Amino acid sequence: MKLTPVLVLAATLPLRPAYHGTPCDSVAQAMHDSCKLESRADHQRAVANCRNLPDPGERTACLAQAAHDLHDALEECDAQHAKRLEVCGDLGGGVYAPSIDPRNFVRSVDNPYMPLVPGTTLVYEGQTPDGLEHTEVHVLAETREILGVACTTVHDVSTVGGRPSEDTLDWFAQDVDGNVWYFGENTHTFEDGLIVSVEGTWIAGEDGALPGIVMKAAPVLGELYRQEFSLGTAEDVARVVSVHETVSVRFGTFSDCRKTEDFTSLEPEVLENKFFAPGIGSVMEIDLDTGQFIELVDVRHD
């Protein structure tokens, strides 16, 4: 019987011995293996295209670039693996399996640090190398049921330099203790007016994706928590670093703000600080590497 290409590949892979780390470490190792396999598969496709070039010089340069890209991709796999292991160590090494009972959720999101009142629009702006970034976050009246929970829908629309850059629907719900959970997003990235990617889209309950907490009811300094969980797609985590910050943005000055340190295993080099004001929600985000930030400039109530 002739094996399919996928089965042939699987049949030629060496068997990995039983993994003896924590369950979380085991998940990280499996993702590391997957990342390397995908990188090598991408490399082989690039090589095939290079070999199809009629000019010998172009062919040689193409193959060299493909080899360079593979090296970078494998290094990124290693960096992602290290970051996942770091997260596993901070979270105790167990599996991530939040219990979601619709009876434990309320209809509205009124956590003072992330109030989602339908009809509210928060407007943010910040300078980027490509021009002014302008983002409007609209809290809609409509809801979507995910895992049996009625989730509030939030519509984010961003432009950079006056051109559409991203259009996203997010879904949130609050539990009876006041924690705000993130149940998924449907995102579209634009270039030159065209949709070029839906990367980052995930829905809790589909393909192993699980909800996470984006705003704690009672944060503990130094605590790390998962904000979303969709392996290879959405793996944001946050750490509470302050609960009494004073922050000044174009819209005003706010005291008793919460400050978090946010990162993802998918982009190990990116680290952000986010600030949340009582009665408002997010007021500022800062990229700690570039210093680039986006701040609240207006709040509208329809």
274, 256 contact by CB (below 8 A): no
Segment 4-30, tens digit of pLDDT: 444 444 444 554 555 668 999 999 999
Q: Please choose, from the candidates 176, 199, 180, the residue with its C-alpha nearest in 3D space to the C-alpha of residue 189.
A: 199
Fold of 102-301: YmcC-like fold (2.40.360)
Segments in the chain below pLDDT 70 = 1-20
How far is residue 197's CA from residue 8's CA, in Å, rounded to a whole number? 30
Segment 238-253, tens digit of pLDDT: 999 999 999 999 999 9
pLDDT at 302: 85
Q: Please choose, from the candidates 120, 122, 156, the residue with its C-alpha nearest in 3D space to the C-alpha of residue 139.
A: 120
Sign of the C-alpha dihedral, residues 87, 88, 92, 96?
positive
Q: Which two tokens stand for residue 258?
A: 């919460």
pLDDT at 18: 53
Q: Could you tell me the residue ranges of all domains in the chain?
A: 20-91, 102-301
pLDDT at 210: 98
What does pTM read for this prediction?
A: 0.91
How far is residue 284's CA from residue 122's CA, in Å, rounded to a whole number? 12
pLDDT at 17: 54
Secondary structure string (H, E, C) spanning 58-96: HHHHHHHHHHHHHHHHHHHHHHHHHHHHHHHHHHCCCCC
Q: Please choose, from the candidates 227, 221, 222, 219, the residue with its C-alpha nearest in 3D space to the C-alpha of residue 263.
A: 227
Q: Please choose, from the candidates 124, 189, 180, the residue with its C-alpha nearest in 3D space to the C-alpha of residue 151.
A: 180
